[in-house]
Amino acid sequence: MTFQYVMHVGVCVRDLERSLRFYRDGLGFAEVGVGRLEIEGEPTATMLGLPDLELHAIYLERDGVRIELLHYPRPGTVGPAEARPMNQPGLTHFAMRVTDLDEAIERIRDFGGHLVEGSRVHNPVYEAHLTYVTDPDGTRIELIETPKDPTR
């Protein structure tokens, strides 16, 4: 097949060390792969459509999921650091199963994330308690506490 496998998902961040602490120390991801990258100029500037590019990246992995934290000292980051609407096209969130939703929310807050107010619900079909939180830059993360797993 032409498409062999998914390599990673990129997450743009404003502060690389703050986000590394959030994902590594807060959520349990580990630094992997080529580790850290520092790239300037071409050909990456053309590929990303960002002239005068300086990019710093760190690859992290957990449970077989690899993310790439992307920080742009030049030209900087744009847009708000808040959860984007769920009906806006593109990647909307990723989900994590937790054993204790209240404890997970507190841990998220301890590491600079935020609870998306009004998103906490109970789904009786799956005996699930769910909510959305965000990383420090507004990337949405769904937290799911349930004895059942509808994805397995």
Domain ranges of the chain: 9-74, 94-145
The CATH code that applies to domain 94-145 is 3.10.180.10
Contacts 24+ apart (CB under 8 A), 20-26: 20/58, 20/60, 20/69, 21/111, 21/112, 22/111, 22/112, 22/113, 22/135, 22/136, 23/60, 23/67, 23/69, 23/135, 24/60, 25/111, 26/107, 26/108, 26/110, 26/111, 26/112, 26/113
Q: For the structural domain made of 9-74, what CATH number should be given?
A: 3.10.180.10
Q: What is the pLDDT along the chain (152 residues), one digit of tens a residue?
A: 798 888 999 999 999 999 999 999 999 999 997 779 999 999 999 999 999 999 999 999 999 999 999 999 999 999 888 888 899 988 899 999 999 999 999 999 999 999 999 999 999 988 999 999 999 999 999 999 998 776 76
pTM score of the predicted model: 0.91
In this chain, the answer to whether the domains covering 9-74 and 94-145 adopt an identical fold is yes
